[in-house]
Amino acid sequence: MDFKSLAVQVLEQNRRALARALTLIENEDDGAIEILDYLFPNTGLALRIGITGPPGAGKSTLTNQLIRFFRQRNQTVGIIAIDPTSPFTGGAILGDRVRMNENALDPGVFIRSMATRGSLGGLVRQAQEAADLMDAGGLQVIIFETVGVGQIEIDIMEAADTIVVLAVPDAGDMIQSMKAGLMEIGDLFVVNKADLDGSGRMKADLEYALHLRESKPAWAPQVFLCESRKGIGIDRVVENIFMHIEHLQQTGEWLRKRERRFRQRVRKLVETKLNREFWNNGRKELLDRHLQNSGGHISPYQIADQLLSDSRFND
Amino acid sequence: MDFKSLAVQVLEQNRRALARALTLIENEDDGAIEILDYLFPNTGLALRIGITGPPGAGKSTLTNQLIRFFRQRNQTVGIIAIDPTSPFTGGAILGDRVRMNENALDPGVFIRSMATRGSLGGLVRQAQEAADLMDAGGLQVIIFETVGVGQIEIDIMEAADTIVVLAVPDAGDMIQSMKAGLMEIGDLFVVNKADLDGSGRMKADLEYALHLRESKPAWAPQVFLCESRKGIGIDRVVENIFMHIEHLQQTGEWLRKRERRFRQRVRKLVETKLNREFWNNGRKELLDRHLQNSGGHISPYQIADQLLSDSRFND
């Protein structure tokens, strides 16, 4: 396949080309890097929003409301729905099919689901790369939506400019222990299903937890009550997202975030390549031989040192 | 500090020395590697049990019952209680203090809590290293107990020979989405609080999910109903743990697990050292300069290639 011409088609906002390029990323095809490299100068313009929270918090309902909002302003929207749970139960995100159908006829909306195929670290990288492709493909707003509240979801959120954390009144015990990481990354918080008992209490709890945050950032995250199914409270959430973006731009944090991501990307690429180069057949065999002969008396520290000792860099 | 003499004291089952060595590991002190390297030939004997499941599933109650069981057989027990939630809410594990007090006078029980200080990947490695130290220090059974059900907890469980996954009848929606990874790693499953409504249903659900597992391993995990607070059902759980260990030994999986961990450790050590060596001041400055000058037109792929191009290995 001619990857460069596929990249050009992505740039020309050909949606079918975009879909094909995304598949290359998911398959970790070498062509994906060629395409990403080519498109890089055309990325960085899209607004990237992350939406996370426990299952059942209404993430896809909120996402749908955001789609509607941005479409009314004639902005194109790309959705990256990420399910890091294992492929063994299947990676389908509930409500995803419904959403697909709802927006099937609108060329201004592009939806892609991603699930785990190999490593979870790979999924984090792929989500970022997918966003770059959509960005280069002219989608103006990109929404990352994750299932669950684990570390992977938190890592994926690093690719977002603004992170919306959802909570539900009755999440109880479980969210309590998961909350720590989410409390730290959220730029705004939404207590969805505000009609349920305990929503006011949950809002107060979140506000108190935010108050306890040790690092007091320049931006003070707020907690909003919402009923996203009925569209109640969405306006204020969107307004706050824009306020946050404005804050990022005014304080220079917008550029710093992009720079951090760029650095991180370079570091990851270097790490992957160094490892791939290091573990040639010779070194793999050396490790195998060590394992067979040592009888458990040579420590991994010594073997690592031996393997490294004759492979210094040319500085 | 003389690290070798500290290592010798650990080997002589000096508990204070063990505690000090564990602190070196947590602080990522270079001395820790010296100690681990010295003690390595004396590791690998201890039985390593992992206990995981959502908060409130009764992990610490089950752990306490296991401590009691092993102490009655005069076996020494080390507990590594791991809380990967961020340091911002504090890393204290509920019930840990109670347990400390309960076992404070028994020199055959050694408890250590570990929380996140830096990276989560670091925590996984540290938990394994802590187990090695306890193992060399003569503790015969080592129990890893984690809070939560995320990827980090699953990674930590790789250090265990036998993994017990706990569930509670009323965990509902949330566990559903988290279950996938846990379903795959569990060697046995315990539905705790069996007196609650829905425990039979939960058992049936788990058994059905196990039945659906694509890979049918030689070992068929079973689901047990328990009331660990009252000690009901513990005997059968412990019996099944021993059956699993026997199975591992008979099939050679016991050795293969240790070999996999060894390989993994070597790979991690190599990776860390390669990266540390690569990112010398010269290369860091080069990346900084690139970021300042490129104006966003050079992709991370090109910069990574440029950085790597003049640093091949001597093969």
Whichever domain contains B216, its CATH number is: 3.40.50.300
Asked if B240 and B170 sit in the same domain, the reply is: yes
CA distances from residue A277 to B231, B271, B311 in whole angstroms, order as listed: 54, 11, 11
| C-alpha span between B218 and B20 (Å, rounded) | 41
Q: Is the pLDDT of residue B120 over 70?
A: no
The DSSP call for residue B3 is H
Asked if B61 and B209 sit in the same domain, the reply is: yes
CA diameter of chain B = 69
When mean pLDDT is compared across B39-43, B92-96, B117-121, B253-257, the lowest value belongs to B92-96
Number of domains composing chain A: 2
Q: What is the pLDDT, as a whole number, of residue A314?
A: 46
Asked if A230 and A82 sit in the same domain, the reply is: yes
Q: Is the pLDDT of residue A123 over 70?
A: yes
Q: Is the pLDDT of residue B298 over 50?
A: yes
A279 interaction partners in chain B (CB closer than 8 Å) = 267
Higher pLDDT, A171 or B145: B145
Which residues have CB under 8 Å from A2's CB, separation 6+? none
| C-alpha span between A59 and A124 (Å, rounded) | 19
Give me the mean pLDDT over the A117-130 stretch. 79
With contact defined as beta carbons under 8 Å apart, do B174 and B81 qualify?
Answer: no
Q: What is the pLDDT, as a whole number, of residue A182?
A: 75
Give me the mean pLDDT over the A268-283 stretch. 89
Residue A261 burial (CB < 10 Å; 0-12/13-18/19+)?
Answer: middle
A179–B36: do the CB atoms touch at under 8 Å? no
Exposure string of A186-201, with b = 16+ CB inside 10 Å and e = fewer, is bbbbbbbbbeeeebee
Give me the mean pLDDT over the B119-124 stretch. 73
Q: How far is A86 from chain B (nearest CA, A)?
A: 6
Exposure string of B263-278, with b = 16+ CB inside 10 Å and e = fewer, is bebbbbbbbeebeebb
A151–B179: do the CB atoms touch at under 8 Å? no
Q: What is the pLDDT, as a whole number, of residue B90?
A: 38
CA diameter of chain A = 69
B206 interaction partners in chain A (CB closer than 8 Å) = none
Give me the mean pLDDT over the A152-178 stretch. 75
| Inside any domain, residue A304 | no
Where a domain ends, among A235, A251, A267?
A251
| Inside any domain, residue B243 | yes
Give me the mean pLDDT over the A66-82 stretch. 92
Q: How far is B30 from chain A (nearest CA, A)?
A: 12
| Inside any domain, residue B176 | yes
B263 interaction partners in chain A (CB closer than 8 Å) = 287, 291
Tokens (6 digits) for A298: 């040579």
Q: Which amino acid is present at B145?
A: E
B300–A120: do the CB atoms touch at under 8 Å? no
User: What share of chain B has pLDDT > 70, as a percent?
Assistant: 82
| Inside any domain, residue A311 | no
Q: What is the pLDDT, as a whole number, of residue B85?
A: 59
CA distances from residue A113 to A96, A148, B177 in whole angstroms, order as listed: 8, 15, 16
Q: Is the pLDDT of residue A313 over 60?
A: no
| Inside any domain, residue B68 | yes
End-to-end CA separation in angstroms for chain A: 38
Confidence of residue B174 (pLDDT cuts 50, 70, 90): very low
Under 8 Å CB pairs connecting chains A and B tally to: 185
With contact defined as beta carbons under 8 Å apart, do B172 and B187 qualify?
Answer: no
Residue A95 burial (CB < 10 Å; 0-12/13-18/19+)?
Answer: middle
A85–B120: do the CB atoms touch at under 8 Å? no
Return phi, psi of residue A242, to 5°: -65, -35
User: What share of chain A has pLDDT > 70, as a percent?
Assistant: 82
B271–A275: do the CB atoms touch at under 8 Å? yes
Which structural domain, as residue segments, surrounds residue A35? 1-42
Q: Is the pLDDT of residue A41 over 70?
A: yes
Tokens (6 digits) for B97: 């203090």
Q: What is the pLDDT, as a whole number, of residue B152?
A: 74
Higher pLDDT, B35 or B45: B35
| C-alpha span between B88 and A214 (Å, rounded) | 7
| Inside any domain, residue B272 | no
Q: Which amino acid is present at B150?
A: G
Exposure string of B133-166, with b = 16+ CB inside 10 Å and e = fewer, is bbbbbbbbbbbbbbbbbbbbbbbbbbbbbbbbbb
Asked if A64 and A125 sit in the same domain, the reply is: yes
Asked if A97 and A227 sit in the same domain, the reply is: yes
Q: What is the phi-psi region of residue A38: left when phi exceeds 0, alpha when psi lies from -120 to 50, beta otherwise?
A: alpha
Asked if B34 and B110 sit in the same domain, the reply is: no
With contact defined as beta carbons under 8 Å apart, do B157 and B146 qualify?
Answer: yes
Q: How far is A121 from chain B (nearest CA, A)?
A: 11
Where a domain ends, among A217, A251, A285?
A251
Mean residue pLDDT across chain B: 83
A95 interaction partners in chain B (CB closer than 8 Å) = none
Asked if B231 and B189 sit in the same domain, the reply is: yes
B310 interaction partners in chain A (CB closer than 8 Å) = 314
Q: For A215, which residue in chain B has the nearest alpha carbon?
A: B88
Give me the mean pLDDT over the A81-89 stretch. 60
pTM: 0.76
The DSSP call for residue B236 is H
B313–A311: do the CB atoms touch at under 8 Å? yes
| Inside any domain, residue B82 | yes
CA atoms within 13 A on the CB side of A142: 27
ipTM tops 0.85: no
Give me the mean pLDDT over the A85-102 stretch. 49
Which residues have CB under 8 Å from A67's CB, separation 6+? A77, A79, A103, A109, A143
Asked if A15 and A158 sit in the same domain, the reply is: no
Asked if A227 and A131 sit in the same domain, the reply is: yes
pLDDT in tens, B218-246: 899 999 999 888 889 988 999 999 999 99
Asked if B130 and B232 sit in the same domain, the reply is: yes
Asked if A99 and A202 sit in the same domain, the reply is: yes
Confidence of residue B177 (pLDDT cuts 50, 70, 90): very low
Which of A203, A209, A85, A220 is closest to A153 using CA atoms? Answer: A85
B278–A274: do the CB atoms touch at under 8 Å? yes
Give me the mean pLDDT over the B128-157 stretch. 88
Where a domain ends, among A251, A270, A295?
A251
Q: For B260, which residue in chain A has the nearest alpha carbon?
A: A291
Asked if B3 and B125 sit in the same domain, the reply is: no
Count Cβ atoms below 10 Å from residue B291 Cβ, excluding itself.
17
| Inside any domain, residue A289 | no
What residues pair up with A114 in beta bridges, in sequence order?
A82
